[in-house]
C-alpha cells in the first residue's frame, strides 16, 4: 500500500503530545544496541507504548535539565526506530551522519514553533533535506530524487503559493515510502522501547 498524508491523520488524535514536538528517525540494518553505540548513548530502562515514552521523556528532561537527549528505540522490520518526544538529536548532522554510516537513514523533526526538517542520509552523506512546510526548497546530494514520491504523499511543491496543510502527516508518509516501515497506532502502542540518553553535541 502506498502511503499518503491521509494515512497519518490519526497522529493528531492518537499522539497529540508527541506530534506537537518530536523527532522520528529510522536506521536500516543497525540494531538498537549499535545505534546507541554510534550515538554514545547509555541505556537506562524500557517502557511499552508511545504514551509511556512521552511520559518518560518529560521526566528525563526535568531530571537532566536538558543536558542530555532522551531517546526511545525499538526494532521494526529490519530498521531501528528512534523516537524523541520533544527532541531533535536525530535531525542533527552530527548524529545522523554516523548513524547512517554503511547504511541509510530517514529522519524528520518538528518543534513547538513549527520549525521542521526532513532528511535522508546514505552512508554518512546527506542526500535530501527540506523543511516540510517549504518542500519546494530542497538541498543535499540528490535533492530531486524523491520529488515524485513527495508529490504522491501530499506535499505541495508549487513554491511560494504552496499549501502547507498536512505537511507533518506527509513527512510521516514520505518516511514510510522511503523505508517501507509503516507506523500505526497499534505498533506505537505495543512497541517496547529501550530508553536511553545521549550527550548533547
- Residue 57: how many other CB atoms lie within 10 Å: 25
User: Does any domain span residue 191?
Assistant: no
User: Does any domain span residue 84?
Assistant: yes
Q: Please report, in angstroms and rounded to a whole number, the separation of the first and last CA atoms in the chain.
A: 38
pLDDT at 34: 98
The number of folded domains in the chain is 1
pLDDT at 170: 98
Q: What is the pTM of this model?
A: 0.96
User: Does any domain span residue 97?
Assistant: yes
Low-confidence ranges of the chain (pLDDT < 50): none
User: Does any domain span residue 151?
Assistant: yes
| List of E strands, the chain | 22-28, 42-48, 68-76, 79-85, 104-110, 116-122, 125-131, 134-139, 192-199
pLDDT at 124: 98
pLDDT at 200: 87
* Cβ contact 102:34 at 8 Å: no
- ∠ CA 76-80-83, rounded to 5°: 100
User: Does any domain span residue 122?
Assistant: yes
pLDDT at 150: 98
142 is in which domain, residue-wise? 5-39+75-184
How far is it, in rounded angstroms, from Cα 5 to Cα 2? Answer: 10
Amino acid at each position: 500500500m502506498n502511503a499518503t498524508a491521509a494515512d497519518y491523520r490519526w497522529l493528531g488524535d492518537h499522539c497529540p503530545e508527541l506530534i506537537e514536538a518530536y523527532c522520528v528517525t529510522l536506521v536500516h540494518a543497525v540494531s538498537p544496541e549499535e545505534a546507541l553505540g554510534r550515538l554514545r548513548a547509555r541505556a537506562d530502562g524500557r517502557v511499552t507504548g508511545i504514551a509511556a515514552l512521552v511520559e518518560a521523556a518529560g521526566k528525563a528532561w526535568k531530571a537532566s535539565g536538558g543536558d542530555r537527549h532522551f531517546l526511545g528505540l525499538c526494532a521494526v522490520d529490519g530498521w531501528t526506530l528512534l523516537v524523541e518526544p520533544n527532541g531533535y538529536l536525530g535531525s542533527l548532522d552530527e548524529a545522523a551522519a554516523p548513524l547512517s554510516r554503511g547504511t541509510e537513514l530517514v529522519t524528520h523533526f518538528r518543534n513547538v514553533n513549527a520549525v521542521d526538517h526532513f532528511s535522508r542520509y546514505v552512508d554518512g552523506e546527506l542526500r535530501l533535506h527540506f523543511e516540510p512546510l517549504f518542500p519546494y526548497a530542497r538541498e543535499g546530494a540528490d535533492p530531486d530524487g524523491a520529488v515524485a514520491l513527495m508529490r504522491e504523499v501530499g506535499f505541495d511543491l508549487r513554491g511560494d503559493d504552496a499549501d502547507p496543510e498536512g505537511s507533518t502527516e506527509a513527512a510521516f508518509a514520505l518516511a514510510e515510502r522511503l523505508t517501507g516501515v509503516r507506523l500505526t497506532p497499534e505498533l506505537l502502542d505495543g512497541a517496547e522501547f529501550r530508553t536511553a540518553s545521549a550527550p548533547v553535541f
